[in-house]
Amino acid sequence: MRTFSVAVVGATGAVGNEMIRVLEQRDFPVGQLKLLASARSLGKSLEYRGKSVKVEVLNEDSFDGVQVGLFSAGGSISEKFAPIAARSGCVVIDNTSAFRMDPEIPLVVPEVNAEAIGQYKKKGIIANPNCSTIQMVVVLKPIHDAVRIKRIVVSTYQSVSGTGKKAVDELEDQTRAILSGREPVVKVYPYQIAFNCLPQIDVFLDNGYTKEEMKMVNETRKIMNDPSIAVTATTVRVPVFYAHSESINIETERKITPAQVRELLSRAPGVQVIDDPAQRRYPMAIDAVGHNDTYVGRIREDESIANGINMWVVSDNLRKGAALNAVQIAEILIRDYLG
């Protein structure tokens, strides 16, 4: 079988580490694996398929001979190194927001718009969407195709792992401190995250929304290839380690019943319906961790409007929200374009 030389940029981070695990678990045909990070990680090694692989310091020559680059080391690293990698013939799948809204760069969720992957040829880069957007569009696309969604109102309950390893440590440290009667130390977020909810993810923009909220608006329209969908978002960081939850309200052009939504989504790729209120069954963050699917439940009619549906959507943000989606893109890339 043909194999590919793969680089993981930001390999020591929360998403990078998950990328390595997903490559392993999905048997991606990796020939050589390059693990790249900053000089801080010099001397470190990481496990891949039972072997220890040395972490290398990212530099301009890192991509010689590399065919697929999975980037997750922050926007400024991608801005600098993704074009360098692309020039040396490596196809970049970028998990940061650096290129997502570039009209010449495809923004892809394979279950929704796999056909856009071919546009990588323009700049050698494919963008992986924002984690909250991915899990929302995977669920909404089949409904949009069936009855056209006019408007989406979404509120998110996002775990700290989306911010990175330091934030996971901070939630743990603050929780321990507070439970032992010590003052919590606040470093990563503007305020204490333990036992709290922060209605701010990323920076505030002039319109009063945060950047994370506007990512959900703009990326949803680009991925669904429909600039007419109205989207409004409130994104909230909650003291959960892994997996994001979302309350989603949609208004559709044509009527669809909750039973029809359940039936439609039970056939949707990458989606599992868990929706049995009588048995108190609904998706929860703790059940989604480590799984590839996006879970949907609490599907019910919005009785305040003519054609409205409410639902609750949960997914592992490091998996479908980041590493898994990137590797799924890479799988299609090597099968249909590089094979």
The contact set with ligand A2P (CB under 6 A) reads 10-14, 16, 37-38, 40-41, 58, 73-74, 77, 164-166
* Minimum distance from residue 174 beta carbon to ligand A2P (Å): 17
The yes-or-no answer on residue 131 being catalytic is yes
Least separation, in Å, of the C-beta of 253 and ligand A2P? Answer: 40
Q: Does residue 90 carry a catalytic annotation?
A: no
Closer CB to ligand A2P, 78 or 220, in the complex:
78
CA–CA gap between residue 338 and residue 239 (Å, rounded): 42
The residue number whose beta carbon is nearest to ligand A2P equals 13
Other CB atoms within 10 A of residue 117 CB: 20
Residue 43 C-beta: closest distance to ligand A2P, Å: 11
Contact 202, 212 (CB under 8 A): yes
Select from 118, 55, 123, 137 the least CA-distant residue to 325: 137
Tell me the CB-side half-sphere exposure of residue 155, using CA atoms within 13 A: 7
Q: How far is the CB of 221 from ligand A2P (least distance, A)?
A: 27
Q: Which is nearer to ligand A2P, 41 or 174 (CB)?
A: 41
Three-state DSSP string of 2-20: CCEEEEEECCCCHHHHHHH
Task: Choose the catalytic residue: 90, 131, 197, 291.
Answer: 131
> Is 93 within 8 Å of 326 (Cβ atoms)?
yes
The string of DSSP letters for 171-219 reads HHHHHHHHHTTPPPP--SSSS--TT--BS--S-B-TTS-BHHHHHHHHH
CB of 37 to ligand A2P, least distance (A): 4
Angle between helices 131-147 and 258-266 (to 10 degrees): 110
Catalytic residue (one of 144, 197, 244, 291): 244
Known catalytic residues are 131, 244
